[in-house]
Chain A
């Protein structure tokens, strides 16, 4: 049944030969031409499946304390170039240019084995990030040089850092805008640099057990210092640098976390980004919020990728467990179905694994898309700042105003046809490119952090459940129970789910984003016309329903007249943010499979068995798109109808009901009407036993049309799932996992 020349609605059946290898992933995640990143992956993988796996297997997670063995893991990071991945070559690194994809890949590889190890590597970058993003040239030079691993011929240990933001009970995990840490002027002699007294108690500070320096967020406690700032503290500064007690985490025990106490005297030159003195007041060039925004915007993406890695890492051990489940039992003789296929003879086991795998693929695709986007955005942001500076525009509101015109041009660009002459002009404008990418990043980053870790944690539980009782033992291959528990922390640190939803509440309504979203919806329809097996059409219908719902909710009020789409109405905004995250993940997943299909054919390794791999990954896309569509449909329907007051059996709503006698009369002229009427009042006023007359759909008929279309767009999705399940039952896996389970080290 041909739909478009050269395509068929039901794709030809092909089977994936082996688990997707490096050649496939490099194409999907767009680093097949970056050997620096491929080496980083190889290097990080070696440490993860060697040093880190042995630590986990040996029970090193069973203590909260920072041990010698854990410290040696940090040395292994140094030797393998993971620490240096954050640095420029002149600073001791080996990767030129933006590092978001690099850090994401390193975190992904480490988290494939242990999330805590990945966090331990990221924590150092997090401490350096305020300096990297906003530090003065002197600060950048000093701390990056100190933090770089020793070069050939050098005999020194690299400095390690910790980022101190959150503060103690009762302010655990405080909002980043509220601080109790204080800074005041300790000493300020005429003509000399001021000295500051910093008083900060941290809570849940990662990397604190071995930190040589700390970047700490503090508020002014002195009228001679304006606002807030981030200061750099060193362990040898005058005063108290107390690392505090280790946090008794149930997760991520391979990273150090503690509650430090600092009371230190430091020069004002330690204010990150520097300061100016105005009328006798120290004015930090950046307040702590500005710095934190710049930092977290990027560092949240690798966290989302960590959970994605765990989901994908679960496939191999689960398949092996399922296939070997009955081997050794009396009733499972070699050659029998029970012996050869184990639990995989049951559809449910396969389908559940397909769901986990599809989630992992979508999460990885979205995370790496976000990382790549920030790599593109970093130089653009610098270019934007330089261009605006040339025009005498410094930042803040002036910048927003200046970019307004670029936003309009960007929106225009999203609506132009491919062959439009105007298109080339707009595409060549760096400010237009910046606002487009910025709007996308403002959604993709929180969506990655929110969906990958939140939904990912739920799906990790599914993975554990597929291993039966084995899943919740230390012996479980792949450390799946650890990964499940760890995912909860990943959903929490660096901004918990509510923070991400709150950010999405604002960014997903940006006009520039919504214009792109509309273009992406059309793009999915086009993709569907050539690749019907990917679920792109399902996704496009879900995207349309989401966009309609957002628009409807922005204009609609509840029965009390309250606005439905409002920052304080999180029942609406957060739910829509969740729904959007499903859509974004699914879209990225489809785009990655298309990339593989397009470029895989010219890669000698990926080309082998490419048809089967693309088929399987497309089926996962379709499965995931159907899941996303279901979530979006449910959430949107609840929001559109859930804020309408349900009709009651009262005087007013009775008016819309038929009276029994009235119906009898009508039946004579309209035969059959009695069978269709549901809300009928008897002569004595009694009514059917239900909540009230059925609710109408006035004003929402378009929603029902879109939802109905979406529902029918699910056609074929379960066939895709069946195909994927069959592949899962046949795909060749290695003889053994390439890292040990507990006790095997």
Chain B
């Protein structure tokens, strides 16, 4: 059979991980200091999903009448999205579905999922019977861990997989999925067919290099889409955070003057073993 997929990737933008992420409390609750001015990137987990989506579409192009296609649905300030697109759009082919919304803070996953599901449902030409909904299993910031599942449920997709590292298609339209489980192992599942939700871990693909030719082609649809992006507000639903904090840095430094290299190495090995 000719596999032609309509792959929708949900991906947010996050501050560049190298930036200083300092928790702060503003009028609307906890957030990250100066987030609007920090350089942003596509959330790395969701970025893996995008690259896997593009690869899957390229390997399964479908037919000229019914080609595979990738949409990137992203919620964030459109000026910020535009900045991120200058790099992301050069990597793989996709159509952007931007939703002009707020950045920062800790939005309610239900509200976010509702906005994303509405945006996906409104994509012209999207065949939901052929849809694969991709996204990140985790997030580089403030991952609620449930947003993608909620989007899937709102769109009526019951087959959901999380921590996905691989998808392999079968001739009969079914597909095999590797999901991460404990101990560095994968759980193997076989799904009868699309539609399905796949929350990606890192996958197996390297980040594609920037290619301005791809970027220029994408920009023909991205720039008009950004100009027409609908505005969304996220209802807090009474959500209230008691406190937020950065993960504790696990780093202990000891200046050691009286041990030789072998002794230091032995202690390191013992420490690693104890961990």
A517 lies within 8 A of chain B by Cβ: no
Complex Cα spacing A43 to B91, Å:
10
Contact between chains at B18 and A738 (CB < 8 Å): yes
B78 lies within 8 A of chain A by Cβ: yes
Contacting residues of chain A (321-364) with chain B, CB-CB under 8 angstroms: 328
Complex Cα spacing A21 to B84, Å:
12
B236 lies within 8 A of chain A by Cβ: no
Complex Cα spacing A17 to B24, Å:
14
Q: Which of B80, B86, B216, B219 contacts A41 (CB 8 A)?
A: B86
Tell me which residues across on chain A come within 8 A of B212, comparing CB atoms.
Answer: 36, 39-40, 43, 80-81, 84, 94
Q: Which of A94, A604, A608 contacts B216 (CB 8 A)?
A: A94
Contact between chains at B215 and A604 (CB < 8 Å): no
Tell me which residues across on chain B come within 8 A of A609, comparing CB atoms.
Answer: 34, 36-37
- Decide: A23 near B216, CB < 8 A? Known: A43-B210, A80-B211, A608-B36: no
Tell me which residues across on chain A come within 8 A of B211, comparing CB atoms.
Answer: 43, 79-81
- Decide: A17 near B210, CB < 8 A? Known: A35-B219, A39-B86, A42-B87: no
Tell me which residues across on chain B come within 8 A of A43, comparing CB atoms.
Answer: 87, 90, 210-212, 215
Contact between chains at A42 and B86 (CB < 8 Å): yes
Q: Which of B20, B77, B213 contacts A94 (CB 8 A)?
A: B213
Contact between chains at A605 and B19 (CB < 8 Å): no
Contact between chains at A608 and B37 (CB < 8 Å): yes
A667 lies within 8 A of chain B by Cβ: no
Tell me which residues across on chain B come within 8 A of A40, comparing CB atoms.
Answer: 212
Contact between chains at A17 and B34 (CB < 8 Å): yes
Contact between chains at A23 and B34 (CB < 8 Å): no
The minimal Cβ–Cβ distance linking A184 to chain B, given in whole angstroms, is 44
A418 lies within 8 A of chain B by Cβ: no
Contact between chains at B37 and A18 (CB < 8 Å): yes
Complex Cα spacing A734 to B89, Å:
25
Nearest B residue (CB) for A39? B215
Complex Cα spacing A22 to B212, Å:
18
A735 lies within 8 A of chain B by Cβ: yes
Contacting residues of chain A (257-272) with chain B, CB-CB under 8 angstroms: none
Tell me which residues across on chain A come within 8 A of B80, comparing CB atoms.
Answer: 604-605
B253 lies within 8 A of chain A by Cβ: yes
Tell me which residues across on chain B come within 8 A of A737, comparing CB atoms.
Answer: 18
Q: Please, how many residues of chain A have a CB less than 8 angstroms from a CB on the other chain?
A: 36
Contacting residues of chain B (31-47) with chain A, CB-CB under 8 angstroms: 33-34, 36-39
Complex Cα spacing A80 to B208, Å:
11
B83 lies within 8 A of chain A by Cβ: yes
Contacting residues of chain A (32-52) with chain B, CB-CB under 8 angstroms: 35-36, 38-43, 46-47
Tell me which residues across on chain A come within 8 A of B87, comparing CB atoms.
Answer: 39, 42-43, 46
Tell me which residues across on chain A come within 8 A of B255, comparing CB atoms.
Answer: 328
Contact between chains at B18 and A23 (CB < 8 Å): no
Tell me which residues across on chain A come within 8 A of B16, comparing CB atoms.
Answer: 734, 738
B265 lies within 8 A of chain A by Cβ: no
Complex Cα spacing A1 to B211, Å:
55
Tell me which residues across on chain B come within 8 A of A10, comparing CB atoms.
Answer: none
Interface residues on B, range: 20 to 34
Complex Cα spacing A576 to B130, Å:
72
Contacting residues of chain A (83-124) with chain B, CB-CB under 8 angstroms: 84, 94
B79 lies within 8 A of chain A by Cβ: yes
The total of Cβ contacts below 8 Å across the A-B interface reads 105
B209 lies within 8 A of chain A by Cβ: yes
Contact between chains at A21 and B77 (CB < 8 Å): no
Complex Cα spacing A47 to B209, Å:
9
Nearest A residue (CB) for B80? A605
Complex Cα spacing A23 to B37, Å:
9
Contact between chains at A732 and B20 (CB < 8 Å): yes
Contacting residues of chain A (688-745) with chain B, CB-CB under 8 angstroms: 732-738
Tell me which residues across on chain A come within 8 A of B33, comparing CB atoms.
Answer: 732
The minimal Cβ–Cβ distance linking B197 to chain A, given in whole angstroms, is 30
Contact between chains at A80 and B210 (CB < 8 Å): yes
Complex Cα spacing A738 to B15, Å:
13
Nearest B residue (CB) for A79? B209
A71 lies within 8 A of chain B by Cβ: no
Complex Cα spacing A328 to B223, Å:
49
Complex Cα spacing A605 to B90, Å:
21
Contacting residues of chain B (90-135) with chain A, CB-CB under 8 angstroms: 90
Tell me which residues across on chain A come within 8 A of B83, comparing CB atoms.
Answer: 22-23, 38, 605
Nearest A residue (CB) for B17? A735
The minimal Cβ–Cβ distance linking A52 to chain B, given in whole angstroms, is 14
Complex Cα spacing A734 to B83, Å:
18
Tell me which residues across on chain B come within 8 A of A35, comparing CB atoms.
Answer: 82, 86, 219, 223
Contact between chains at B39 and A22 (CB < 8 Å): yes
Tell me which residues across on chain B come within 8 A of A42, comparing CB atoms.
Answer: 86-87, 90, 210
Contact between chains at B209 and A46 (CB < 8 Å): yes
Q: Which of A39, A84, A152 has the most CB of B within 10 A?
A: A39
Complex Cα spacing A608 to B80, Å:
11
Nearest A residue (CB) for B19? A734
A558 lies within 8 A of chain B by Cβ: no
Contacting residues of chain A (1-35) with chain B, CB-CB under 8 angstroms: 17-18, 21-23, 35
Contact between chains at A81 and B18 (CB < 8 Å): no
Contacting residues of chain B (192-218) with chain A, CB-CB under 8 angstroms: 209-213, 215-216
Complex Cα spacing A364 to B21, Å:
29
A138 lies within 8 A of chain B by Cβ: no
A603 lies within 8 A of chain B by Cβ: yes
Complex Cα spacing A736 to B17, Å:
10
The minimal Cβ–Cβ distance linking A5 to chain B, given in whole angstroms, is 31
Contact between chains at A735 and B18 (CB < 8 Å): yes
Q: Which of B20, B78, B79, B253 contacts A23 (CB 8 A)?
A: B79
Complex Cα spacing A734 to B211, Å:
27
Contact between chains at A328 and B37 (CB < 8 Å): no
Contact between chains at A605 and B77 (CB < 8 Å): yes
Contact between chains at B210 and A81 (CB < 8 Å): yes
Contact between chains at A732 and B34 (CB < 8 Å): yes
Tell me which residues across on chain A come within 8 A of B79, comparing CB atoms.
Answer: 23, 603-605
The minimal Cβ–Cβ distance linking B23 to chain A, given in whole angstroms, is 13
Complex Cα spacing A738 to B19, Å:
9
Tell me which residues across on chain B come within 8 A of A84, comparing CB atoms.
Answer: 212-213
Complex Cα spacing A151 to B79, Å:
31
The minimal Cβ–Cβ distance linking B77 to chain A, given in whole angstroms, is 5
Complex Cα spacing A730 to B48, Å:
36
Tell me which residues across on chain B come within 8 A of A603, comparing CB atoms.
Answer: 79
Complex Cα spacing A17 to B35, Å:
10
Complex Cα spacing A417 to B215, Å:
45
Residue-wise interface mask of A (52-81) relative to B, using a CB-CB cutoff of 8 A (1 in contact, 0 not)? 000000000000000000000000100111
Tell me which residues across on chain B come within 8 A of A38, comparing CB atoms.
Answer: 83, 86
Tell me which residues across on chain B come within 8 A of A21, comparing CB atoms.
Answer: 37-39
Nearest A residue (CB) for B18? A734
Complex Cα spacing A608 to B34, Å:
8
Tell me which residues across on chain B come within 8 A of A79, comparing CB atoms.
Answer: 209-211
Nearest A residue (CB) for B210? A43
Contacting residues of chain B (146-167) with chain A, CB-CB under 8 angstroms: none
28 A-B pairs with CB atoms under 8 Å apart are A17-B37, A18-B34, A18-B38, A23-B79, A35-B82, A36-B212, A36-B216, A38-B86, A39-B87, A39-B89, A39-B90, A39-B215, A41-B86, A42-B86, A43-B87, A43-B90, A43-B211, A46-B87, A76-B209, A79-B209, A81-B213, A94-B212, A604-B78, A605-B80, A609-B34, A609-B37, A732-B22, A734-B19
- Chain B interface residues (CB < 8 Å from chain A): 16, 18-20, 22, 33-34, 36-39, 77-80, 82-83, 86-87, 89-90, 209-213, 215-216, 219, 223, 253, 255
- Chain A interface residues (CB < 8 Å from chain B): 17-18, 21-23, 35-36, 38-43, 46-47, 76, 79-81, 84, 94, 151-152, 328, 603-605, 608-609, 732-738
Query: Besides A21-B37, A39-B86, 11 other CB < 8 A contacts?
Result: A17-B37, A38-B83, A39-B89, A39-B212, A47-B210, A84-B212, A605-B83, A732-B20, A733-B20, A735-B19, A735-B20
| Those 6 A-B pairs whose CB atoms lie nearest each other, nearest first | A81-B212, A604-B79, A42-B87, A608-B36, A43-B210, A38-B86
